[in-house]
Amino acid sequence: MSLGFEKAGFEVVAAFDKWEKSNAVYRENFAHPIFEQDLTDEETAIEKIRPFSPDMIIGGPPCQDFSSAGKRDITLGRADLTYHFANIVCSIKPEWFVMENVEQIKKSHILTDVIEQFSEAGYGLTSIILDASYCGVPQARTRFFLIGHLNDKHNQLTGIIKKSLSPTPMTVRDYLGDQLGIDHYYRHPRNYSRRGVYSLDEPSPTVRGVNRPVPKGYKLNSCDPDNIDLQQIRPLTTVERSWIQTFPQDFKLSGTKTDLEQMIGNAVPVNLATFIAKSIREYISAGAVSVQAQQTLFEDEMLFHLPNRSLNKISISLKQLRL
């Protein structure tokens, strides 16, 4: 998410994450600091975050408890980090926040609780489920986003986001061309009643934190592509999977294969984060243009009195803080 927002022109000032192995990779790729911090310790986290005076806080509270690949426990475990995220945001009160999660969170009472909390704190909210393949990512990854803007109305960004979607999904070949040197690849299914072979001429399935070779004795499923020679099929490499997540090819990856696969699978695709960030920038820019137009009318015809809150949007300086 940090890289995606940087690509859209936001200044990242700091990051916070508990997993030190991923923090080490983060430090190799960013100039701003990242702090090892358990966000369940809200008091300490808030003390560390507040001095940065962020205009925006973005984050993806770990979603395994909501995920179809996880424990499906929406009352206990790491799902509680969604509450901690909301508590931190409502304490710091940045002008904006962005929260990412799997779409299954919409079935949880936790989402209802934090939406009520954000609303009571004065945030206008936009919620949307996006398929990343319509947002510049060669992957059919579906994710939920909740965007908050302080002292605003609800659903203000919905129109901007929807009009920016691509009319067609992006395929792996659209994004990488023939760089992989293959036409098909193996992605280990959750069970063998599902397909395991995919074509470059379609979006990749969701990149998960697991990457296994083709099992001995694997037989093509009825839903696999026809005329496939399994002897020519391989899984994508760790680095290739980072490309499917739209990490740049010069992004530095270091650590064990197991850890890197988990980091890559857990990440928000860079271009999906950029898509959200650009939508926010467009909304801000439209507000600034509107204010400037009203200011011109005020100067020319003395018709309008503009509140300072609106005028502040003209010169707003955006910073971004990842949790």
Q: What is the pLDDT of residue 289?
A: 61
* pLDDT, average across residues 4-28: 97
CA dist., res. 105 & res. 111, Å (int): 6
* pLDDT, average across residues 135-143: 98
* pLDDT, average across residues 61-69: 60
| Tokens at 135, concatenated | 């947002």
CA dist., res. 81 & res. 83, Å (int): 5
Q: Is the pLDDT of residue 56 over 90?
A: yes
Identify which of 249, 227, 228, 230 has the alpha carbon closest to the alpha carbon of residue 179. 249
Listed in sequence order, the residues at least 6 apart from 55 whose beta carbon sits closer than 8 Å to its beta carbon are 94, 95, 96, 316, 317, 318, 319, 320
Q: In 167-204, which positions are buried (b, 16+ CB within 10 angstroms) versus exposed (e)?
A: eebbbbbbbeeeebeeebbbbbbeeeeeebbbbbebbb
Mean pLDDT for the chain? 87
- β pairing state of 319-322 and 56-59: parallel
CA dist., res. 148 & res. 98, Å (int): 6
Listed in sequence order, the residues at least 6 apart from 12 whose beta carbon sits closer than 8 Å to its beta carbon are 2, 5, 6, 30, 32, 319, 320, 321, 322
Q: How confident is the model at residue 221 (pLDDT cuts 50, 70, 90)?
A: confident
Q: What is the pLDDT of residue 63?
A: 62
Q: Is the pLDDT of residue 315 over 70?
A: no
- Choice among 170-174, 232-236, 275-279, 304-308 with the minimum mean pLDDT: 304-308
Q: What is the pLDDT of residue 9?
A: 97
Q: What is the pLDDT of residue 313?
A: 31
Q: What is the pLDDT of residue 80?
A: 87
Q: What is the pLDDT of residue 292?
A: 56
Q: Is the pLDDT of residue 310 over 70?
A: no
Verify whether residue 63 is a known catalytic residue: yes
Q: Is the pLDDT of residue 30 over 90?
A: yes
Q: Which among 63, 90, 135, 223 is annotated as catalytic? A: 63
Q: Is the pLDDT of residue 288 over 70?
A: no
Cα 113 to Cα 101, 117, 166, 285: the distances in Å are 15, 6, 32, 31
Domains and CATH numbers, the chain: 2-166+269-322 (3.40.50.150)
Q: How confident is the model at residue 248 (pLDDT cuts 50, 70, 90)?
A: very high
